[in-house]
Amino acid sequence: MVFSSVTFFYYFLPVVLAVYFITPMPKGSPRLRNIVLLVASLVFYAWGEPVYVLLFAVQCVAAWVFGLLIDKHRGKAISRVLMGISVAITLSALLLFKYADFFLRNLSSVLRQDIGILGLALPIGISFYTFQILSYTFDLYRGKTEVNRNVLDFSTFVAMFPQLIAGPIVRYSDVAERLLKRKHRISDIAPGIRRFVIGLGKKVLIANVMGEIVAIYKTGSENSTLFTWFYIVAFCLQLYFDFSGYSDMAIGMGRMLGFKFLENFNYPYIAKSITDFWRRWHISLSTWFRDYVYFPLGGSRVPLFRSVFNILFVWFLIGFWHGADWNFIVWGLYFAVLLLAEKFFLSKVLEKMPGILRHIYVIALVLIGRVFFDASDMAAAGSVFARMFGFASDGAFGPVSLYYLRSYLVPLVIGVVGCTPIPKMLMSKLSDKKAFTIIEPLAIGALLVVITAFLVDGSFNPFIYFRF
């Protein structure tokens, strides 16, 4: 089940919210509502991955049990051992399902023997919920959060369906208090619905439309330079609106349910440096690696060689987290090199450049990076680069590229403008008008009607980050 479906929005979500809010809260405790949320989340997960629900449950219970043991032996040497075992158990499923075939393929290549692969299907959302569990284990060991003594409450944290499949990566410390005690206010429902519908609109009306361009390019016969650049720009927009739309929906639903999830995007395409871009894109992931990998390695407060290694290693992991293939590793190291260049000398050059040139610099480098990200392998990435820069292409442009550029020009412009704070600024100015209280719900309702029409007329449209 996906958020961008009629089944979810018109059936699953209303039923869950109705049952959730009629469930009593004895003495103000949300425990019964946590159980409702947990059951709903397991149903949501089982809808698409019934075979992996048991695996998911085992990981939750194992992390919870080891959390109790770590807390019991806090300050003793054994607590470090227990943390290591817990981390190993949590990572084992991710390594098996996501990375085993990568290592087997490469081992076969090195040995020049066909070892074979496991061919296991990747459990949906495993990269995200694994990191959520790890955040609890690490913070508990460091004494930065309190142990959770109720397995159902802990499982609710891991399984919450708004952010279960594709984030944002919610840390236990961010929701610990609200798991045990939270207020449900009617005033949070309307903003939550608005945020959800806006995110749904991003996904259905912009990301999916940009995805059509990507699909046309990949299945078409014209490989002109113009069409190749058009494709990679469309992919950048698709990825942003797909993932930020999902995050908007997760944050909106979290607010309806009494939780406050942190923002995951902050207009990354207006960044003036690559460093700034990664402070704005997928914030929950970049801060996770910063706090749980980069800082423990010593960050930048170490000798120069070690500092360079830390950045390269972290970005190797970030690339590998996104996908078990060399193109993702190269993508991660590509950004590591850019960040190192800015850290040691390029930032001073950028500071002297006009803002528009800095912006062009960021967009150009991000577009190049997206080629690695979307390619099936390094050979495919090389072919796209050749077409982008006029080699092995069908010339500068052709009739197909011109036709689709004209056909998709309006949604393309809408997507470009939507990447900036301009829509939010306009809404802020309009919100001061008295008529806005009437116009806004009507506009949200109209947007929902349009989205529904697209969903009814369309086909299955999963989120890009489901595959990670």
Q: What is the largest CA-CA distance in the chain?
A: 73
Q: What are the structure tokens assigned to 343, written together? A: 């850290």
Distances (CA, A) of 314 to 121, 293, 307, 444, 450: 26, 7, 11, 41, 42
Q: Which of 73, 184, 322, 359 is catalytic?
A: 322
Rounded to whole angstroms, the Cα distance separating 322 from 241 reads: 18
397 φψ region: left (φ > 0), alpha (ψ -120 to 50), beta (else): beta
Q: Respond yes or no: is residue 184 known to be catalytic.
A: no
Q: Angle, to 10 degrees, between the axis of helix 53-72 and the axis of helix 31-48? A: 140
Query: Where on the phi/psi map is residue 119: left (φ > 0), alpha (ψ -120 to 50), or beta?
Result: left
Distance, CA of 62 to CA of 348 (rounded, Å):
49
Distance between CA atoms of 95 and 347, rounded to whole angstroms?
37
List the structure tokens of 77: 């040497």
The DSSP secondary structure of 49-84, one letter per residue, reads -GGGHHHHHHHHHHHHHHHHHHHHTTTSHHHHHHHH
Please state, in angstroms and rounded to a whole number, the distance separating the CA atoms of residues 34 and 370.
Answer: 39
Q: What amino acid positions are annotated as catalytic residues? A: 322
